[in-house]
Structure 1
Amino acid sequence: MAASETLLFTPIRIGGLELPGRLFKTATAETRASADGFVTDELVAFYRLLAMGGTPLIITGNIYVSRQGKSAPRQVGADHDDKIAGLARITEAVHAHGGRIFAQLNHCGRQVVPDFVGATEVVSASAVKDLLTGTRPRAMRADEIAAIVDQFGEAARRCRDAGFDGVQMHSANGYLMSQFLTPYTNRRDDDYGGTPERRTRFAREVLGAIRSRVGADFPVIIKMNGADALPLRDGLAPAELAEAARIMETAGVDAVEISVGHYESGFPMVRGTFDLCLRNMMAGSMAHLPPVRRTLLRVFRPLVAFASNLLWKGREGFNLDYTPDFKARLTIPVISVGGFRTRATMEAAIARGLCDAVSAGRPFLADPFFYQHIRDGTPGPHCVDCNACVGHLGAQPADCYHPRVRAEKDAMLAELGLG
């Protein structure tokens, strides 16, 4: 067998952790915790299945570091020590099947519909209104920044104590860390704004707070945009983001995962078709938008779906457009998420030196045994990029909602005695 056909299943090292393969489960919002952020049986079962499928590395959906940073209902938290025992149930279930799992830590900043999560105050790097949700945050004071930095560090400690194999700092997709990084959302004139170096300060301080709790040998990775995808706004291009990643490597991160876009960008981070996605959103998170925005979306939903289907057609490996800038500047592993569905495309991406590993989200919702089926060349439920799952995120449990694919998944699990 040629080397290019086996690269996907060769070991890779992230910090001090060696993983047996290079196809990972990226973060997806599970919407399976209790209302107050505690782990449930349903959430443990979700991760158990992924580990049973042989997935080398699972990255959790975003775990909030404080209630202020919660982005959706039924999101799991690591904001207090009373969450540790529940989080340990997840890691025990994954480790029992030989898997490894990282906790993705996040604060949503301005990217929240306040009524959706019961938020009374929204903060960000600057008071820049989110054009999608209409949410206008308040600019954070320096003492508030220091408090959130400390919350990230404490959340990482709790996750380490719960048995996680590493943590991921979420600095992509327009969340708080990304808001500090991007000039469009960061208009500060203090030590946290202006130059590229100062705009990375918040992320560097978060990394320092994490390292002070978990030590130098505990894997810490970061998720970043390859491009902000903010036309006519002051977003960052791949070269600028790759330079920010280089700064973070110097500060001590062990790997970077490349995504794309903010909420305001539309759908560049998922691609595919969006009719089901937007329909489900109208019954979920978008039902909590301010009345004018909710009415406009309802009236123009068919047009928005039509335009989205044209602008963001499904394509495998779409973030590979950005990874060469990161590969040129970094020595740590570069992981690319973005539409991967077939072994050939994943193998080619690694063989061509465009990335060191790939990650996927929606295919694992359609088939928790996706890694095993790709590795063994056996059939399984196949994601068709309908994005019905994306429309339900935050409102319904993360799962496949395409009728045919979901039926195939249910049948497979029933046959395995896991239904």
Structure 2
Amino acid sequence: MSAPGSVLFKPIGIGRLVLPGRLFKTATAETRGTADGLATDAVVDFYVPIARGGTPLIITGNIYVSRDGKSAPLQLGVDDDDKIAGLAKVVDAVHAQGAKFFAQLNHCGRQVIPRFAQSPEAFSASDVKDLLTGTRPLPLTPAQIQRLVGQFADAAERCQRAGFDGVQLHSANGYLLSQFLTPYTNRRSDQYGGSLENRTRFIREIIQAIRTRLGPGFPVIVKMNGSDWLPLRDGLKTGELVEAAVMLQQAGIDAVEISVGHYESGFPMVRGTFDLCLRNMLEGSMRYLPPLRRTLLRVFRPLVTLASNLLWKGRQGYNLDYTPQFKQRLAIPVICVGGFRTREAMEAAISAGKCDAVSAGRAFIADPYFYRHIRDQQPGPLCVDCNACVGHLGAQPAECYHPLVKAEKDAMLARETLSGT
């Protein structure tokens, strides 16, 4: 059983919300909605076991706030009131198991294959082509930016009406809000480009709009990079990202979760091995790439796999390279995501003052009871960082696709069902 003195299971406050532990489920795209972005019973089925496992806080996969920000066919949306009832059903099921639930709000910006997302065009801060997808976005006008500010606030209000305990603004991993922060993708000369103050203006206006609409008591957190990891491009390093986080804290956010990288970066945000990942991508979302890019990726997949396996070897807590600098400057909780698998590594990160809490994604996909097993020091299905699940995201439901781990997971869930717990 768990040791009462463990720092991993001490309460932590996020705004006015108090959580009983410091290991959270980070956002992973569910790919379980309808074509119109409505929540389904399959979304409930994904989250209930994670909640049943005692997880204090679960963050949904990215939910689009406007139709032009949708990145995949079966992604959840919150762009209209017709989404509220389905999301409320998921929230109620999670709450019934005792977990708190945040909705991650997102706009994909240029990181989209329009044909895959069934979108006529893509938008971003500037018209900088995405080197992975080949998508060249249209730059948003100031009027369009203001419309999006309102749509983020509308989305947050719908999430509150659905019963969510808070929202997370996705400003990491090269999505739209991240594209505004990063000089490489933001080459504007108006009030939304140039200085760091200008490049944070869009997200600060969103935070202000949400606070005006929902008040100070509704938790709003931000996911952002600790490094853009864009060699030879004008990406952000940790120091400037910390300065951005200070501005966002002043704007009223309650916590930050630190990730790394853009789509163009490769795989620094997941790490591990990539044989199954790249194979699944080619069979899924990457089938919709422009013909030349699809052919090049298919031909050079063995080389890309080899390079990825060498560059991004799996290790626990890889974003701890960045979080201490955020901890030194921020008064709000700093959450670190990035390959955590063992209790010892999580406790060490928090005890050393490198972060206030940790989050995991693939570990919970492999073992929905990951939190319980870590807390009670019991064995469970262990993610082996094969990244097969990552390769399927957007095209197939979020699930463990490693045959041995999946078999262990299914057997565990079947035993739980038989026991009635």
Identify the TM-score tier after normalising by the shorter chain. over 0.9
Structure 2 equivalent of residue 130 of structure 1: 130
What secondary structure is seen at the aligned counterpart in 1 of 2:98? coil
Residues 286-335 of structure 1 deviation map (CA, whole Å, 9 limit, x = unaligned): 00000000000000000000000000000100000001110111000000
In the alignment, structure 1 residue 120 sits paired with structure 2 residue 95: no
For residues 131-165 of structure 1, what are the alpha-carbon distances to aligned partners after superposition, in whole Å with 9 as ceiling and x for unaligned? Answer: 00000001110000000110000000000000000
Q: Aligned residue for 1:195?
A: 195
Residue 67 of structure 1 deviates from its aligned partner by: 0.8
Number of residue pairs the alignment of both structures matches: 419
Q: Which residue of 2 aligns with 1:337?
A: 337
| Equivalent in the alignment of 1:296 | 296
The aligned counterpart of 2:45 is 45
Give 2:211's aligned residue.
211
Q: What stretches of structure 1 of length at least 5 have no aligned partner?
A: none
- Indicate if the aligned counterparts of 2:53 and 2:369 stay in contact, CA closer than 8 A: yes
1:26 maps to: 26
> How far does residue 268 in structure 1 lie from its aligned partner after superposition?
0.1
Q: Cα 1:152–1:408, aligned 2, differ >3 Å: closer, same or farther?
A: same
CA distance in 2, matches of 1:268, 1:43: 27
Separation (CA, whole Å) in 2 of partners of 1:5 and 1:296: 53
SS in 2 for 1:60: strand
CA–CA distance in structure 2, aligned partners of residues 155 and 50 of structure 1:
24
- Distance change >3 Å, CA 5–CA 385, structure 1 → 2: farther
Rounded Cα–Cα distance in structure 1 between residues aligned with 2:5 and 2:222: 28
Question: What RMSD, in angstroms, separates the aligned Cα atoms of the two structures?
Answer: 1.3
| Matched residue, 1:371 | 371
Work out whether residues 336 and 358 of structure 1, in 8 Å CA contact, stay in contact via their aligned partners in 2: yes
- List per-residue Cα deviations over 1:105-156 (Å, max 9, x = no partner): 0000000011101110111000000000000001110000000110000000
Matched-pair contact (CA < 8 Å) for 2:6–2:347: yes
Q: Is the 8 A contact 2:65 2:107 kept in 1?
A: yes
- What is the one-letter code of the residue matched to 1:415? R
Q: 1:49 Cα shift?
A: 1.1
Instruction: Provide TM-score, normalisation by structure 1.
Output: 0.99
CA distance in 2: counterparts of 1:115 and 1:121, whole angstroms = 9
Q: Which residue of 1 aligns with 2:260?
A: 260
1:5/1:347 contact within 8 Å kept: no
1:225-304 to structure 2, matched below 5 A, reads 225-304=225-304
Q: Distance in 2 between matches of 1:388 and 1:356?
A: 30
Q: Does structure 2 retain, via aligned residues, the 8 Å contact 1:4–1:348?
A: no
CA-CA distance at 1:214 after TM superposition? 1.4
- The 4+ residue runs of structure 1 with deviation greater than 3 A are 1-5
Return the alpha-carbon distance in structure 2 between the equivalents of residues 22 and 342 of structure 1: 13
Secondary structure of the residue that 1:54 maps to in structure 2? coil
- Cα distance between partner residues in 2 of 1:4 and 1:165: 26
2 CA distance for matches of 1:290 and 1:2? 52
Deviation at 1:170, TM superposition (A): 0.3
Please give the residue correspondences for 1:346-361 in structure 2 after superposition, counting only pairs within 5 Å: 346-361=346-361
Query: Does structure 1 residue 320 correspond to structure 2 residue 320?
Result: yes
How far apart are the structure 2 equivalents of 1:40 and 1:14? Answer: 29
Residue segments in structure 2 that go unaligned for 5+ positions in a row: none
The code of the aligned residue for 1:392 comes to H
CA shift, 1:395, in A, is 0.5
Partner Cα separation in structure 2 for residue 311 and residue 94 of structure 1: 38
